[in-house]
Amino acid sequence: SSSPWTAVTVGAVPVVLGAVGFTGAGITASSLAAKMMSVSAIANGGGVAAGSLVATLQSVGAAGLSLSSKVILGTTGSALVSLVV
C-alpha cells in the first residue's frame, strides 16, 4: 500500500522541475536546467543525448509524469521518506 508521502512526493515532482527550469515551454534561461543542458551538450559534442538525464527531466517537465514515472518516483520517494522519518 502507498503512504500519503507517496502522493506528496509524486505531486511535488512537476513543481520542483518547474522551479529548477524544466517547464512546459522549454528550459528557462539562466536556470539550473539551462546549466545542466549546457554541460550535457558540451560533454556530448554539442547536443543533448536522447534518454539522458537532462532530456528525461525536460520531457517530464514539458508533458507531466507518465504512469511508470509516477510509480518509480513514488516508490523512490517513499523509500527516502522512510529513511528520514
Confidence of residue 5 (pLDDT cuts 50, 70, 90): low
Q: Is the pLDDT of residue 25 over 90?
A: no
DSSP designation for 48: P
Q: How confident is the model at residue 11 (pLDDT cuts 50, 70, 90)?
A: low
Mean per-residue pLDDT of the chain: 74
- Averaged pLDDT, 56-71: 69
